Chains A and B, each alone.
Chain A
Amino acid sequence: MSEALNRRGFLKISAALAAVPVVSELTGTYLFAQEAPNLIQNGEVVTGTHWGVLKVTLKNGKVVKSEALSSASKIPNALQENTADMIYKSRVKYPMVRKSYLADPDNPKPALRGSEEFVRVSYEDAIKLVARELKKTRQEKGIDSVFAGSYGWKSVGNVHNSRILLHRFMNLSGGFTGSLGDYSTGASQVIMPHVVGSISVYEQQTSWPVILEDSDIVVLWGANPISTLRISWQVDDGQAFGYLEKLKNSGKKVIIIDPRRSATVKYFDKAEWIAPRPNTDTAIMLGMIYHLLSTNNYDKDFLENYTVGFEKFTPYVLGKVDGVEKTPAWAAKISGVKESVIKDLAKRFFDNRTMLMSGWSLQRAHYGEQPHWMLVTLASMLGQIGLPGGGFSLGHHYSGAGVPSRKGGVVGGMNAASVGHFDANGKFLGTGEKTASAGETGASWKLKVSASSFPVARIADALMNPGKKIQHNGRELTYPDIDFIYWVGGNPFAHHQDTNTLVKAWKKPRTVVVNSIYWTPTAKMADIVFPTTSQYERNDIAMIGDYSNHGISPMKQLVQKQFEAKDDYQIFSDLCLAYEGKGLYNAYTDGGKDEMQWIEEYYNSAYNAVKANPDLVTDMKPFAEFWANNKPIIFDSTMESEAFVKFKSFRDDPILEPLGTPSGLIEIYSKTIEKMKYDDCFPYPRWFEPIEWLGMENKPAQFHMISPHPHDRLHSQQNQTSLRDRYAVGNHEPIWINPKDAAKKGIKNGDTVRVFNARGEALAGAVVTDDIIEGVVCLEEGVWYDPSKPGIVGAICKNGSPNMLTIDIPSSQLANGNISHTALVNIEKFSGKKEPLTAFSAPKGA
């Protein structure tokens, strides 16, 4: 037993009167004390969450109230109220192994995954089992057979960052296959570097104060910020809502383009609401472009000085390439938006300082690479990019981009380490260049272990088709042969398209391990489940405000760890011990650090930077005082950040501040993409008919289903809370259907309906409303898949997940993004026998 462990053991003994640290005789693993001393039993504790800094009230050691610590606006955020439910409901209590896997891991009958009962095991046995099977898989099938991309939104917190902790373990223990990209901006994050030279979607945007000062028109195109600004990747700063309030009160013209009257449309009650058919935005933009061209109302100087390729794009617009002129009339026929409206909008955008804010729904569709490329082209013709309050933004609806950046400290965080090397006896050698396997340099080894990454939304395709070659952004990738999946902090059975295909694909690997707080549909599809702590059962630290760096939030533990839940950090530390021993363990834990030591180290990154900078006036206290105060530290913005205009530095000096494109300018025509010769992504932005849409001949189903980010969840987080009681209809997810469509189907408000197509079916609760246009239905994503027959392909989802109906094909060969907003469905009133909802209940055996 290492000295570091003994020392900490001693400290825990002296600190915790109750818990006696136990060393497992079987694994030699040190079982950290489960009991945390000195938790507040009665009073208020501050912590940070995806939905803001919260003040949580405890009574007799239980959470009784949860609310924002402070608000920058009157816009409510119901996500902040449900901390108790996030602790007490639907918990995985004990380590579980699926019965046939436990009986014979080498012949585990993966066909039974999801339907077979679980058997409770001891934590030590689960650790030994996972370590053994992971090692065996690597030895027999190679490193790339281990898939640990583990996409998901997890919890905030820089220490207990579950996905990074998994990657850290997988790297140090030898390597793994990861994934590329994400489900939020799958298409745009790949096309935007070609067009404007950087990722665009995850960058700070023109500041709200500038927009409020200088914009005349603000367009929200496929964006729903009243809903989406409730959450952030880091702790939400709540500031953007304040700016939306100011925008509403400013009298500025707000134009919202969305097939539904979203919460944002309702909030901006004086806005113009334009409702196109889903997936037709590129065509609308083309109609506008044609109109500007034909009326000679566009900025030739801007195009000349700041873009390349416009002259190669216009023949397409004018019908010289495919014989079709992309007129406003043409666009009206495709989109359902009137020709006069398209012309009028184009002219008004040109004549006024216009900020085109676009959400990510546009690109979460077939050929999703096109809409934002076309938007940048349109904005280039308007010539206002880089001017205060003008141009375009792909970020104002997300995590507070546009809230002026603060100057202060940034806390450090857990990182994913590097690939570890082992000798022939399995002894851990380290991660450096010198320790690479004989005959390989560190660099080539690193390339080898990472070469198998694939686009995140191709998971089912990869599982089903090992060795298949695909095109991705100009290069060829080969899918690995996945035999081991480890997932933490995510719920692919909520977020991935075409759930039935995923169920089928998921049965291919020999081993599936899931760390989960709750009995999510993904946990139910595992072989081995470790119960993990929620953020409320551990200590951590996080930044407030993804783009604003508004401040630093303490995340103090609220309650004791529930049942046998353990921190991911402990699970992976113990896996290190079981996999190799102290060498790997010490590398992973940096010599046995515990959570408070990491938190203090990360705090001090910020503290030391602030103290060293005489410009910063923030009164940051030493760590012990900060932690005892349990209050967030808030930083101040600067005059520069308040006045930040995106692309201004490029516009002012394109030579010293070029864009990251080959030409240094905006590329309306891309030679790089031209060389790829893709038939689904041309060298300039184009209209492509989606595989399923309302304008097609021989529609496979009647209605276009959109599945936007939910108002009352963070994707699938909080589906299990009592917040659901406010929106569920007949105990199902609500589906919006237009009154005219409902009448034809004999569907009344509140009816249970069956939503179905060739890919699957789900039960939903009808909300008959003219908040959705005819021909379109809306079923929000993030619903916990609840199959009537667990683990069986084709089972109906009793909760109402839209991914029973969505399509699992890539946006195009450029980005291979997910296309969740492209799907046609049928609806009928459900008259069958209703079975009880089991979405939030534990499975058999648990």
Chain B
Amino acid sequence: MIRNLLLTAIVATAIVAGEVAYSTKEKNVYLEANSDRVVGKLLPTNAIEILEEVGDRVKFKIEGFQNPKTGSIIYYTTKARIFSLAFARTAEPELEVLDDSLEDGWRRVSTIAYTTKGDFESKLEPMMQRAGKLYSDNCSMCHTLHEVNHYTANQWPPTFKGMIERTPLDKDDIWLVTQYLQKNAKDMK
């Protein structure tokens, strides 16, 4: 019984230190292994590198794009507001600047933080396909299904948010589908 549970736990995590992982839903982010202060959110479908496990948390590293004009938010790209790790206004994460030669004040950065274990997968494609199916299953009930490239990456989050209350979509899937829509949007090809 215990052996089975352990096996399940190992299989379920299946994410080991040094590997790239993608979360399947929005996850709380902390600056310390044992802090309860939530300083930001890690959004699904964004690559992180697992550094080590610390208790029931994982220490991870994430790279992305940041612009001092918009605080400490780490974006997926400079082209649109796709959140990778959205730090709160009051958070003060340490950001390592990898490249500050980009235009308009943008920098490529990385940071190290903590989040909870679980809800990670090692491949991106399966969760993107799930997101696509959730989108087409739930968003053609009241109106014709819009092509994903109908809106821009910036338009999708509030557009989608304005609709989801009218569908049976699970709250846990909201950010997964949002990121899917943003990354396949009109201006992201």
Contacts and interface: CB of A to CB of B under 8 A. Distances in A.
B6 interface: no
Contact of A197 (B73, B88, B155): B155
Nearest to A608: B168
Contacts of A547: 165-166
A413 B155 CA distance: 25
Given A415-B140, A655-B73, A656-B88, A193 B167 contact: no
Contact of B165 (A182, A405, A659): A405
Interface stretch (B15-23, B27-35, B57-65, B144-152): B144-152
A164 B138 CA distance: 12
B142 A658 contact: no
Contacts of B70: 655
Interface in B125-175: 136-138, 140-145, 147, 151-152, 154-159, 161-163, 165-168, 170
Nearest to A650: B158
Given A167-B144, A204-B165, A664-B81, A659 B86 contact: no
Interface string A523-564: 000000000000000000001001101000000000000000
Contact of B154 (A158, A182, A202, A660): A660
B37 interface: no
A656 B155 contact: no
A337 interface: no
Contacts of B138: 415
B167 A410 contact: yes
Contacts of B156: 660
Nearest to A410: B168
A35 interface: no
Interface string A568-589: 0000000000000000000000
Contacts of B163: 202
B71 to A, nearest CB: 6
A164 B154 contact: no
A305 interface: no
A817 B154 CA distance: 24
A662 interface: yes
Contacts of A415: 136-138, 140-141, 145
A664 B154 contact: yes
Contacts of A418: 136
Contact of A412 (B144, B151, B168): B168
Interface in A228-250: 233-234
A630 interface: no
Contact of A416 (B144, B157, B158): B144
Interface in A299-354: none
A29 B78 CA distance: 56
Interface string A3-26: 000000000000000000000000
Contacts, number: 91
Contact of A605 (B71, B73, B168): B168
A660 B155 contact: yes
Contacts of B123: none
B159 A655 contact: no
A413 B73 CA distance: 37
A655 B156 CA distance: 16
A178 B81 contact: no
A546 B161 CA distance: 15
A161 B141 contact: yes
A274 interface: no
Contacts of A653: 89
A659 B168 CA distance: 25
A450 B166 contact: no
A660 B158 contact: yes
A606 B88 CA distance: 33
A609 interface: yes
A826 interface: no
A804 B161 CA distance: 40
Which residue, B86, B158, B163, B167, has most C-beta atoms of chain A within 10 A?
B158
Interface in B48-77: 70-71, 73
B154 A543 contact: no
Contacts of B88: 656
B155 A198 contact: yes
Nearest to A655: B70
B31 to A, nearest CB: 18
B157 A660 contact: yes
A247 B143 CA distance: 32
Given A202-B162, A405-B165, A410-B168, A658 B144 contact: no
Nearest to A602: B168
A759 to B, nearest CB: 29
B141 A655 contact: no
B84 to A, nearest CB: 14
Given A412-B141, A546-B166, A656-B86, 9 more contacts: A167-B140, A179-B144, A202-B163, A416-B136, A416-B144, A418-B136, A549-B165, A653-B89, A660-B151
12 contacts: A149-B144, A161-B141, A197-B158, A409-B168, A410-B168, A411-B168, A415-B145, A416-B140, A653-B89, A656-B73, A660-B154, A660-B157
Interface of B: 70-71, 73, 81, 86, 88-89, 136-138, 140-145, 147, 151-152, 154-159, 161-163, 165-168, 170
8 nearest A-B pairs in the assembled complex, by CB-CB distance: A413-B141, A198-B158, A660-B155, A416-B140, A203-B162, A605-B168, A660-B158, A415-B140
